[in-house]
Structure 1
Amino acid sequence: MKKIRVLITLIVLILLLAQALPAYAEMEYRFSDKGTINTDFSWGADDIIEAIDFELYAGYPDNTLGLNNNMTRAEFAAVLNRIVDAGGTPGPNWYDGAVDGLVKAGVIPDKSGDWDAPITRLEAAKWLGRLAKVYQVTVKDPGATFSDTSDPDAIYANKTGLMKGVSPGVLGADKNLLRGEAAVLLLRVAKSVDSNLPSDDELKQAMVEAIGDVNANIADFEARRNADLSFYDKLPYKRVTRNYFEYERKFMYAWRDDGRKNYQGKIDEVKVAEKHNAIAIVVCKIENESGYKGIAVARLKKIDGRWMMTQGGTPENRDLKYLQLVGIIK
């Protein structure tokens, strides 16, 4: 009976919000090969979608994900650095700063090797094991090990849950790390590094300002009725990523002639459901200009020291646990 009441409550909340805010789906819909998430990586599909929504994983300029492609050493270093914010001194190559920062932090042993080469699962595990030690990631399974490597850093990555095997107890040490696998690892890292948490007030303020940017986008769209992003540089707060607005603007433009009104909204309350060093999830009570009230769930990421909204809108099935965490539903 309790589960039925929870489901009914959630349905009512979503129906209310559907009238209050546009319903923005997961950001993977931007990519032409999004189907490979479920066909080729069904075991990690939910995590890959989350990694995309948090902009921990980015596809290629041609709007493909390339999940079955190898992850290069440079790419993996770059995304890891963005999560732990290790800094670094830039150089002639696009990845030099990221590599330098991770070397100084003790995550990568040195700068040697071909950075355009694929990273193996063994090398990735070594990096993650060192990262876990540097950033004090909690050990989840003290007895975890791998049968195909005795490297202590790789095994420590397994103990902390950052790196799991291709099968129980087997790392697949000599295999290259695929980009789809890397997306799953990146989300694990982002949800495990908690050594420098933001305050709730910091996240709440970021969300209030993000809604200010969303309202600015709505006002601009209602005035110009196009998918042009020239308004982005004029945003009042710059608390929303360009990728989010690119998708949102296309969505609004596609439905421009269906009679739908895009209402601006205001936040009545913000609650932090989950937070880590680099990512957070907040739940908002929102009221729009027409008087409709509802709930929105937003994903935030720390980018260059600034919390930015990367995805948000109507609660989805995956968001039920966050509504429960903040007491919206019991």
Structure 2
Amino acid sequence: MLFKRLIFFVALIVMLFAFTVPAHAEMEYRFSDKDTITKDFSWGQDDIIEAIDFELYAGYPDNTLSLNNNMTRAEFAAVLNRIVDAGGTPGPNWYDGAVDGLVKAGVIPDKSGDWDAPITRLEAAKWLGRLAKVYQVTVKDQGATFSDTSDPDAIYANKTGLMKGVSPGVLGADRNLLRGEAAVLLLRVAKSVDNNLPSDDELKQAMMEAIEDVNANIDHMRNTWKLDFGFYDSLPYKRVTQNYLEEDQRAMYAERNSGRTLSLLGIKEIKIAEKHNAIAVVVTKLYNKEKGYDVSPAVTRWKKINGRWMMTQGGVPDNRDLKYLGIKF
């Protein structure tokens, strides 16, 4: 009996160690100023990382996050529209369609003002309060309020938990909304809008197609051992994002001299761990198709992009994913 307990204990330790190995495709690592996540936004670092991994927050083309920069009104409108999929009629400016869609949805009151100007925390709170009403976000604290604004929409954003204060009960109404703060807000919105959920079957089908894209990328890498981001156009389903493919290739290429063998993956079972209108988390039990043994389950993050579910991040579970691994297969 003691021997059996010892074997179980050792197996448990090995399993827990495996579960805490960082996922190979955490997307924040590609940004040159990623240290600002913990340095300047420690209070919201977990949410910022999640927002990046869901591709709710994309950073700049020069691979910087610039979290301390102000978020403009146009930028905030654009990212909000991508979450709620409000559509809109395009115009001469890159943001016209997003603004038009949110105005028609009732999230933004009108199209007036300078859209290249920073958005204040008060205006952002007003938009989020209206969004909460339009998309039926659940009230979490009926008594929540702000001492520095009496605006009913801003206060409603607080009641639903979409906008919190810079300190208890203080919105910081006159301050500009920083991009790091906006990333946190975007994740809150994405995890709160649940009035048009995808079916489990839709997400499972997307996962089955994504694993074929992953296998195509694995096979291409082991045949060429070079970075080839243009290979995205050759994927059979394009159920992973371009960013995912690039980070996956970098991770495999970094181990080209490690002696590790790249093998194709098969799916044994798929479970939907979390789903909302625009984002989802899927846990998949995998096996090595070429050698037959089970491998670590994959926790994958998904975003609905232009009406299509796309895998944005995934791999070996890390500490934040432990809550999803209690799912029974």
| TM-score under structure 2 length normalisation | 0.94
Q: How many angstroms apart in 1 are the aligned matches of 2:300 and 2:75? A: 27
Aligned residues: 320
Match of 1:12 in 2: 15
CA contact (8 A) 1:135 1:195 kept: yes
Deviations 1:222-275 (A, max 9, x none): 122111112111111110000011111112122212211111101100000100
Match of 2:318 in 1: 316
Q: How many angstroms apart in 2 are the aligned matches of 1:309 and 1:136? A: 26
**Cα offset, 1:9, TM superposition:** 4.2
CA contact (8 A) 1:30 1:63 kept: yes
Q: How many angstroms apart in 2 are the aligned matches of 1:27 and 1:229? A: 16
Map 1:139-158 → 2, pairs under 5 A: 139-158=139-158
Match of 1:306 in 2: 308
Deviations 1:175-228 (A, max 9, x none): 000000000000000000000000001011111111010001011111221111
Q: How many angstroms apart in 2 are the aligned matches of 1:167 and 1:118? A: 21
In structure 2, relative to structure 1, the CA distance for the partners of 1:6 and 1:271 (3 Å cut) is farther
User: For 2:109, what is the secondary structure of its paired residue?
Assistant: coil
**Cα offset, 1:14, TM superposition:** 6.0
Unaligned runs of 5+ in 1: none
User: For 2:325, what is the secondary structure of its paired residue?
Assistant: helix
**Cα offset, 1:134, TM superposition:** 0.1
Map 1:1-330 → 2, pairs under 5 A: 9=12, 11-12=14-15, 15=18, 23-288=23-288, 289-293=290-294, 294-324=296-326, 326-327=327-328
Q: How many angstroms apart in 2 are the aligned matches of 1:316 and 1:12? A: 12
Unaligned runs of 5+ in 2: 1-7
Q: How many angstroms apart in 2 are the aligned matches of 1:8 and 1:114? A: 60
Q: How many angstroms apart in 1 are the aligned matches of 2:237 and 2:85? A: 22
Q: How many angstroms apart in 1 are the aligned matches of 2:20 and 2:211? A: 15
**Cα offset, 1:23, TM superposition:** 4.5
User: For 2:328, what is the secondary structure of its paired residue?
Assistant: coil
**Which amino acid counterpart does residue 36 of structure 1 have in structure 2?**
T
In structure 2, relative to structure 1, the CA distance for the partners of 1:74 and 1:15 (3 Å cut) is same
CA contact (8 A) 2:281 2:300 kept: yes
In structure 2, relative to structure 1, the CA distance for the partners of 1:305 and 1:136 (3 Å cut) is same
Q: How many angstroms apart in 2 are the aligned matches of 1:17 and 1:256? A: 23
Deviations 1:110-165 (A, max 9, x none): 11111111000000000000000000000000000000000000000000000000
Q: How many angstroms apart in 1 are the aligned matches of 2:253 and 2:52? A: 23
Identity %: 77
**Cα offset, 1:291, TM superposition:** 2.4
In structure 2, relative to structure 1, the CA distance for the partners of 1:274 and 1:291 (3 Å cut) is same
CA contact (8 A) 1:77 1:98 kept: yes
**Cα offset, 1:15, TM superposition:** 3.5
CA contact (8 A) 1:72 1:115 kept: yes
**Which amino acid counterpart does residue 327 of structure 1 have in structure 2?**
K
4+ residue runs over 3 A deviation: 5-11, 13-18
CA contact (8 A) 1:14 1:314 kept: no
Q: How many angstroms apart in 2 are the aligned matches of 1:77 and 1:128? A: 11
CA contact (8 A) 1:14 1:295 kept: no
Q: How many angstroms apart in 2 are the aligned matches of 1:53 and 1:170? A: 30
In structure 2, relative to structure 1, the CA distance for the partners of 1:190 and 1:203 (3 Å cut) is same
Q: How many angstroms apart in 1 are the aligned matches of 2:27 and 2:260? A: 22
CA contact (8 A) 1:99 1:111 kept: yes
Match of 2:5 in 1: none
CA contact (8 A) 1:17 1:296 kept: no
Q: How many angstroms apart in 1 are the aligned matches of 2:9 and 2:192? A: 29
**Which amino acid counterpart does residue 15 of structure 2 have in structure 1?**
V
Q: How many angstroms apart in 2 are the aligned matches of 1:37 and 1:230? A: 30
Q: How many angstroms apart in 2 are the aligned matches of 1:31 and 1:186? A: 19
User: For 1:74, what is the secondary structure of its paired residue?
Assistant: helix
**Greater CA drift, 252-261 or 25-34:** 252-261
**Which amino acid counterpart does residue 292 of structure 2 have in structure 1?**
G
